[in-house]
Amino acid sequence: MKGTIVYYGNFELPDKGASAHRVVSNGKIFQALGYRVVFLGTNQTSDYFEGVKQTDFDKNMFEECYPNTTKRWMKYVFDAANIEQLVGMLEDVKLIIAYNLPYFKFNNIKKLSNRLGVSATYDCTEWNGYAEGNIAKRLFKKIDLFQIKDFLASKADGMIVISKTMEQYYRNKHIILIPPLVDIEDAIWHQKNEGKKEKFEFCYAGDLGVKEALDKVIAAFDNLHNENAILRIIGLRKQDVCEMYPELAAVAQNKNILFMGRLSHEETVKYVRNCDCYVFLRYNNPRNQAGFPTKFAEAYSCGVPIITTNVSDIAEYMKSADNGVLLEGIQEAEITDAMRNIISENIDNKELRKVFDYRNYTQKAEHWMSMFLPEGEVG
């Protein structure tokens, strides 16, 4: 074992959301290079507790409690005490990777790492200045975004970024571009393929959020007027959609729109793997251009056709008609036409794709670490 890497951020372990999927997949890269990888995520469901505790499901996964009051939130965005506690429990820590943490917090982690003689890097997957809550929290997010974009690169020993937009922006730093990854050998990607069904199935999986144009997907599907097609929506109930989009209350009654509510990651992948076309639309804005949708990487890995919008680096992968339809906008008529075309083409090529498999990034990551770790601690 070459030492220990600590991955720290606001992700719910082991697999509750795209952020957890990213850090766990990235962790497999470093494990393949011979490191022990320890994760410190957040627990948002238990009663509040102080400090750090080990999870029941993995000896290398630890949790801190997500702040549930304004006072605790203010402490969270500055305090590095929990990461210091965890590092003190471990042996031979070589590297701390901060995942989308507030700039002030990372600044204090960097001071800690300097004191301990370890490297501190940053995994940046979004530029998000949006926040719900009081005016102080919203103002803080705007300030934090400014600092993340303008000061982070000079502070971190190295950076992991998720898109070419970020890679070019932070171009003068020890940097590696790692898109959302999967472990293509994991059993979750090899669940039974049920083959052709009676009705053509579109699938969407995700939450309601400011990134997505789910309302356009629903309206465009309704405009198909095709009794032999269904739209399966995973992660949301009909009630959720009606509350978010009151104008779609009548459309949501369409019997060919199936609302599944929240499912496990394994169940979700099974439905995506067995659908005929995965569909999601993102607004073309700076936030979405800087990020990269995990749902695209997962659907692409499943080998199913995808209807989506031309944001971030998606166009690099959507070069074949077999991969689906890449839209330049979110006009309902164009989305409906894309759905109609996909149905008529009836693509039946669901071979797993290995482009996003973490094994493709081990050598690249080893070179990246050699840029800032002392000689002899990488290879």
Where is pLDDT greater, at 81 or 347? 81
pLDDT band of residue 375 (cuts 50, 70, 90) is low
Asked if pLDDT for residue 69 goes beyond 90, the answer is no
Task: Kindly list the distances between the CA atom of residue 362 and the CA atoms of 30, 39, 61, in Å, as whole numbers in the listed order.
Answer: 7, 19, 22
Q: pTM of the predicted model, to two decimals?
A: 0.93
Task: Kindly list the distances between the CA atom of residue 74 and the CA atoms of 67, 77, 85, 104, 257, in Å, as whole numbers in the listed order.
Answer: 9, 6, 19, 11, 42
Asked if pLDDT for residue 376 goes beyond 60, the answer is no
Which listed CATH number (2.40.160.60, 3.40.50.2000, 3.30.565.10, 3.30.50.10) goes with 4-181+357-370?
3.40.50.2000
Q: So where are the chain's domains? A: 4-181+357-370, 187-345
Mean pLDDT computed over every residue of the chain: 92
| DSSP per-residue codes, 219-253 | HHHHTT--TTEEEEEES--HHHHHHH-GGGTTGGG
Asked if pLDDT for residue 379 goes beyond 70, the answer is no
One fold for 4-181+357-370 and 187-345: yes
**What's the whole-number mean pLDDT along residues 347-359?**
88
Asked if pLDDT for residue 208 goes beyond 80, the answer is no
Q: Which neighbouring-strand residues pair with 279? A: 307
Q: pLDDT tens digits, residue range 263-307?
A: 999 999 999 999 999 999 999 888 999 999 999 999 999 999 999
**What's the whole-number mean pLDDT along residues 158-187?**
95
**What's the whole-number mean pLDDT along residues 154-173?**
94
CATH node for 187-345: 3.40.50.2000
Alpha carbons within 13 A on the beta-carbon side of 177: 14
Q: How does strand 61-65 pair with strand 53-54?
A: antiparallel
Nearest to 120 by CA among 109, 128, 104: 109
Both tokens assigned to 233: 């929506």
| DSSP per-residue codes, 313-345 | TGGGT--SGGGEEEESS--HHHHHHHHHHHHHH
pLDDT band of residue 377 (cuts 50, 70, 90) is low
Asked if pLDDT for residue 204 goes beyond 80, the answer is yes
Q: What percentage of residues in the chain have a pLDDT greater than 90?
A: 79
Please give the Cα distance from 231 to 275 (Å, whole number).
10
Q: 205-209, 233-237, 307-311: lowest mean pLDDT where?
A: 205-209
Please give the Cα distance from 166 to 127 (Å, whole number).
9
Asked if pLDDT for residue 230 goes beyond 90, the answer is yes
